[in-house]
Amino acid sequence: MKKTVILLLVLSVIGLISYACDTGTSETPTLGASVCTKSISGIGSTSAAKLYYPCTINGTVGATTLAGGYTETLNNVDWLSQAVASAGYVVLAYTPTNTLGMVSQWRDAHKNCISKLKSLNTSDANVKGKINTSKLQVSGHSKGGGGALWAAAQLTTQLRTAVPLAPYQEQFANSALSTIKAATFIEAGGGDTLATNAMTRGEYNALPTSISRKYLEYNGYGHMAWSYATGADAARMSGDMIAWMKYYMDGDTSQKSIIANQSGTTNFNWVDKGAPSSSSSSTSSTTSSTSSTSSSSGCN
């Protein structure tokens, strides 16, 4: 009996080590604009929140929520918050009240953060009048990603885009995603044993056929690849997300080649209904690949 218990403990430790592995290098992604930060309080379903924004904002810019997942805080997605803000967007990152809680808490926090972004646009000296409230997004990792999907389903036309990262969900049925109106991009890990490929592909396939949507699985990435990411991994994951925002928030069609990049993926699907206010807004195209197999109906 003792030998069995010891063996199980050893296997658990090995599993945890594998779960936390990241394939990145020690490099730091190249950032653009200087980023300023400010702690934000008083947001429901959060225990901490931080605003990231370009120190100089000309005109108005889009904004996104951002959160980590189970046991994680906003520090786990600090690298991504910095990258997105340096690309010219406002980011409101948060830690949920209970990092061991259910996905519904992340959903509520995302919704409250969207309301807060609208409020900050009228009251905060740093970003007052600088947030384009017609260009809002929800994003998060793991339960933060599952919560982002659920929030997008409830916020509908209040959002322009949604980018869930390895989205995990334990509560809602995929059928609930049928009300999403935002252009939705799901980043997943080919080696994820927690937010499994079956789970994330199921979420993607449940998205409405009327919206622009994308799904990809990065080769070999485990569930924690989005936590404290560095080097080439961080540059790829953040770059893909930023390209999605620039195309579907801002109508920057030069981002299409980045969005269409299938290198380093085991499963790739992209249905493009066109960027807003762009020459492609009236067209629709589908690009998909699963290993060496193509599919236009969804993820296999």
138-163 pLDDT tens trace: 999 999 999 999 999 999 999 999 99
Whether residue 222 contacts residue 21, with contact meaning beta carbons closer than 8 Å, is answered with yes
pLDDT-derived band at 4, boundaries 50, 70, 90: very low
CA 215 – CA 213 distance, rounded (Å): 7
Residues 6+ apart with CB under 8 A from 57: 127, 130
User: The domain spanning residue 224 has which CATH number?
Assistant: 3.40.50.1820
CA distance 180 to 210: 9
Spatial distance between the Cα atoms of 274 and 283, rounded to a whole number of angstroms: 6
Q: Is residue 20 part of a domain?
A: no
Backbone angles phi, psi at 25, to 5 degrees: -100, -175
pLDDT per residue as tens digits for the range 115-139: 999 999 999 999 999 999 999 999 9
Structural domain boundaries, residue 43: 33-290
Whether 150 is covered by a domain: the verdict is yes
Distance CA 196, CA 201 (A): 8
Is 14 contained in some domain? no
% pLDDT > 90, the chain: 80
110: how many CB neighbours lie within 10 A of its CB? 34
Q: Which residue in the block uniquely carries the two structure tokens 């007052």?
A: 128
Position 276 scores a pLDDT of 87
Residue 22 has pLDDT above 60, yes or no: no
Q: Is residue 227 part of a domain?
A: yes
Cβ atoms of 211 and 181 closer than 8 Å: yes
How many domains are contained in the chain? Answer: 1
Q: Which helix (H) or strand (E) holds 213?
A: strand 213-218
Task: State how far the Cα of 14 lies from the Cα of 9, in Å rounded to an integer.
Answer: 9
Residue-wise pLDDT tens digits, 249-291: 999 999 999 999 999 999 999 999 999 874 333 344 566 654 3
Q: Is residue 240 part of a domain?
A: yes
Q: What is the pLDDT of residue 112?
A: 98
Lowest-pLDDT choice from 2-16, 153-167, 184-198, 275-289: 2-16
Q: Are 254 and 196 in contact (CB under 8 A)?
A: no
Q: Which of 264, 258, 233 is nearest to 80 (CA)?
A: 233
Residue 79 resides in a domain: yes
Look at residue 210 and tell me whether its pLDDT is greater than 60.
Answer: yes
Report which of 185, 188, 150 is spatially closest to residue 169, judged by C-alpha positions. 150
Residue 4, domain member (yes or no) = no
Residue 229 lies in a domain: yes
Q: Which alpha helices (DSSP H) does the chain contain, by range?
A: 2-20, 78-86, 103-123, 143-155, 197-205, 231-248, 256-259
| pLDDT above 90 for 37 | yes
